[in-house]
Amino acid sequence: MQVLKFGGTSVGSIENINNVKNIINDGKPKVIVLSAMSGTTNALVRISNYIKNGRPEKAIEQINELHVHYFKTVDSLLTDKALNQDVKNYINTIFNFLVDSTYESHSILLENKIVAQGELLSTYIFNCFLTQEGISSALLPALSFMRIDKTNEPDFFYIKQHFEMMFNKVPEATVYITQGFICIDDAGNISNLQRGGSDYTATILGAAINADEVQIWTDIDGMHNNDPRHVENTRPIKNLSYDEAAELAYFGAKILHPQTITPVRADNIPVRLKNTMNPDAHGTLITNNYSENGIKAIAAKDHITAIKIKSGRMLNAHGFLKKVFEVFEVYETPIDMITTSEVAISLTIDDDSNIDKIVTELEKFAAIEVDTNQSIVCLVGHSIVHHPDTFKLFQVLQDVKIRMISYGGSNNNISLLVPTVEKVATLARLQDYIFRLIA
Ligand code: ADP
Ligand code: ASP
Ligand code: MG
């Protein structure tokens, strides 16, 4: 069995929904994971923020706009009168809930319920569309099986057991549709896998059912060698290893949720990235194989905070690093990059929710400097640190404002820390020099 995930753009227009239908309509049983239609989750986040900021009238305005948009979409998609009415009734239930939410006071639970509605809408609509088109499908509600535990990790045992239970209730279907992104937490409340989380849903499910392959269908022909939103002349990469793809996803390649690769790598389940608008393009195949060495791709991650920790007493003092790490451990804050000298450590974090407390603790034994608005620019490739081409990187560095560099932490990754205002220029410069010089 294969798991196919379709992102927001793929289900965001009538034309693309028809593309999705053609892609999945080969008679083979499969699991389909859908995102919300493009723009919907952002609109739901805005609604929640209006409620939080005491602007219910603005929330209602946004709700009404979205409601009209959904009715229009359904009128274009569902010509079958009964199905059209059925879907409109469902849409009305959802929008009544949204309107009722504007009378409530804001909480994280309410916010999670609000942002969950996008995937509930897209899957309901798509399921009815397949019925209209004569394709035998069943809707398996993600909130009945997709659960995370206290540490926000997927509860694989529960997911497998409950997915199979739901699946076995409708053995006759060919296409099993479920919602990406949304889940329940350990207390049974509606939660989610963070923005972009439908990719993660697909690989969690892929691992749970031991799928033959997980396909992530999106609006671009696979993982490119640099961020196409910021850099010209990027090109798709045909093959990536799990390690390479995981590094790129973690360090900001938006095409994949940062955790996407984690569930499937141990079981060696291939992940294929494909373009819904151009299904014949090869896309990117992610497996255990390393196809070639050297720099393959560059990605960047924003909202990084750099912390410099300086101690006069670090000189020859063992135990200093331990003291520093303990502070980050207490506040459950992962460190991404780290460099050391005799008298100072520089490190980076992307979760700055406890930064004030961390700084207060560190200041008890060191002088601290904090720089916000930094970006990690990450160069990825198998054995990149040993490859002769990699040294061309050093020809480029004179033109780039680098705050930190991490080389050799892993064989597959070289990370540069730059101020975010320099990010786009850095990506472009690296693209120009490295891929032109390597080519
Ligand atoms: P979906 O809604 O299908 O999940 P996303 O917007 O989350 O799609 O991801 C696809 C987008 O990721 C692309 O349109 C592209 O702009 C962006 N992107 C960023 N970095 C890369 C990269 N290295 N390769 C391909 N796409 C990338
Ligand atoms: N709809 C969610 C989001 O926009 C999840 C996803 O698209 O993967 O973040
Ligand atoms: Mg996405």
Say what the alpha-carbon torsion angle 65, 67, 72, 75 is, to the nearest 10 degrees: -170
Q: Which of 11, 195, 273 to mutate to test the pocket of ligand 2 (most atoms within 8 A of CB)?
A: 195
pLDDT in tens, 140-165: 999 999 999 999 999 999 999 999 99
Q: How far is the CA of 263 from the centre of ligand 1 (A)?
A: 20
Q: How far is the CA of 231 from the centre of ligand 2 (A)?
A: 24
8-state DSSP, 431:
I
8-state DSSP, 284:
E
Q: Which of 198, 256, 260 to mutate to test the pocket of ligand 2 (most atoms within 8 A of CB)?
A: 198
Backbone region of residue 377 per phi and psi (left: phi > 0; alpha: psi in -120 to 50; beta: other values): beta
Fold for the domain defined by 2-219:
Carbamate kinase (3.40.1160)
CA distance 311 to 384: 33
- Residue 342 is predicted with a pLDDT of 77
Mean pLDDT estimate for the chain: 94
Give the pLDDT band (50/70/90) at residue 319: confident
Tokens of 392: 């061309």
Q: Which residues line ligand 1 (CB under 6 A)?
A: 7-10, 35, 196, 218-220, 223-224, 227-229, 253-255, 299
Tokens of 398: 């004179």
C-beta of 154 in contact with ligand 2 (< 6 A): no
| Ligand nearest to C-alpha 217 | 1
- Residue 46 is predicted with a pLDDT of 98
The residue whose CA is least distant from atom 6 of ligand 2 is 196
Which residues, in sequence order, are bridge partners of residue 301? 376
Q: Position 166: which residue type?
A: M
pLDDT in tens, 16-26: 999 999 999 99
C-beta of 193 in contact with ligand 2 (< 6 A): no
Check pLDDT > 90 for residue 399.
no
Go through the chain and tell me how many residues it has. Answer: 439
Nearest to 281 by CA among 216, 226, 236: 236
Q: Which of 6, 254, 273 to mutate to test the pocket of ligand 1 (most atoms within 8 A of CB)?
A: 254
Fold for the domain defined by 297-438:
VC0802-like (3.30.2130)
The residue whose CA is least distant from atom 8 of ligand 2 is 196
CA distance 56 to 50: 6
Check pLDDT > 60 for residue 315.
no
Give the pLDDT band (50/70/90) at residue 311: confident
Q: How far is the CA of 129 from the centre of ligand 2 (A)?
A: 21
Q: At what angle do helices 108-132 and 14-24 cross, to 10 degrees?
A: 70
- For the chain, the domains span 2-219, 297-438
Contacts of 360 (CB under 8 A, 6+ apart): none
Share of the chain above pLDDT 90, in %: 84
